[in-house]
Amino acid sequence: MQVFRYLLIVGLLLVFLLPAQATIAAERFKVLVVSSYEEDYLWTAEIRAGIEQTLGGTAELKFYYMNTKDELSRGTERAAEAYQLYLKFQPDGVIAADDNAQSMFVVPYLRNKVKTPGMFCGVNGDPEHYGYPALNVSGILERYHFEETLAFNRQFDEQIKRFVYMGKAGPTADMEELQLNKLITAEKLSVKLVGFLRPETRQQALELAREYREKADLLIVGSLQGVTDEAGKALNEIDVLPEVFRAFNKPSGAINAYTVRYGALAAVVKSGMEQGKVAARMLLQAMRGTPLTDLPITRNYFGTRMINVTTLRQLQLKPPATALRGAELVRSV
């Protein structure tokens, strides 16, 4: 009797488990991720982590990097390579990260041309600029916490009345300026913008930081990845940002978490992890059959308050306790 019961239980388990396993196996998708920037760029790594955390157990992921921070001139060539990979890999879905992957890869090769669903993330430009939403494209926009960062820094120094923004010359800086100008037009910034700086070299970045020390009370830095040294070599931001903040020697803000760790005083930073997770989650829904009309374009909302205590001491600032409460405290690397 015990043997019979055992066999009955085993039989029932097989009946219920085998279909479930078959369903899981059938839902193993293939996803191509095309990143605008370099694999070792920290923002790219944040997005990848969010994608892997969301799709790692459900999809075979293949990543391609267009490297347009360091080699923008080769962007169209790299986009063509990404398309050849798309044709060979035949993915069930595509994620394209940041603006260059949209203008150089998705728009010319995929948008309204294939049935494969695609999700964008990290996009600074207006979606209409790329013809989004499209029949097969939706995603998440990247919007900076500019006013939140301005207000946060004013808790450290109430005399902040003017700020300057710095970002490496290129498409990303153009999009960042558009975002700032929209906020200025809508009168949503509490501090006056007195300059938008686009250095191409480390030397230019340092000279501008020293020059604007007399013109501005606060420096906000976007991305300086890819500015070149005296020999024309593209640099990583850890080789540039600490020097820029020392040259300015006043309160400074940022849009990325790593920039605070490299010396910016305080910021409300966006999350690449959020961008990757949301795009991956939307793509998974699309691959499972949800119409893209039911997956409207969204934007990021999550922000983290960060303070660099090393810079805080160097500037001899004493913030109120309310500024420290709930903030992530870091030291310069």
Question: Any idea what the CATH number is for the domain that residue 235 is in?
Answer: 3.40.50.2300
CA distance from start to end of the chain: 69
Do residues 326 and 209 share a domain?
yes
Is residue 187 assigned to a domain? yes
CA 328 to centroid of chain Cα atoms = 19
Q: In the numeric block, which tokens belong to residue 131?
A: 């013809």
The pLDDT value given to residue 20: 40
- Regions of the chain where pLDDT drops below 50: 1-25
β-partners of residue 32 are: 62, 94
The pLDDT value given to residue 3: 39
Do residues 236 and 215 share a domain?
yes
The pLDDT value given to residue 21: 42
State whether residue 63 is helix, strand or coil: strand
Do residues 239 and 322 share a domain?
yes
The pLDDT value given to residue 23: 39
Is residue 284 assigned to a domain? yes
If we measure between CA atoms, which residue out of 52, 172, 200, 30 comes closest to residue 101? 172
Q: In the numeric block, which tokens belong to residue 111?
A: 């948008």
Residue 224: which domain range?
146-269+304-330
Do residues 326 and 193 share a domain?
yes
One-letter amino acid at 136 equals: N
State whether residue 28 is helix, strand or coil: coil
Do 138 and 196 meet the contact criterion of CB atoms below 8 Å apart? no
The pLDDT value given to residue 234: 96
Give just the sign of the alpha carbon dihedral 182, 187, 190, 195. positive
Do residues 83 and 213 share a domain?
no
Do residues 97 and 168 share a domain?
no
Do 146 and 189 meet the contact criterion of CB atoms below 8 Å apart? yes
Do residues 113 and 47 share a domain?
yes
pTM reported for the whole predicted model: 0.88
Backbone dihedral angles phi then psi of residue 190, each to the nearest 5 degrees: -90, -5
The pLDDT value given to residue 69: 95
The pLDDT value given to residue 128: 97
Do residues 308 and 264 share a domain?
yes
Is residue 101 assigned to a domain? yes
The pLDDT value given to residue 195: 97
Q: How many domains does the chain have?
A: 2
Is residue 251 assigned to a domain? yes
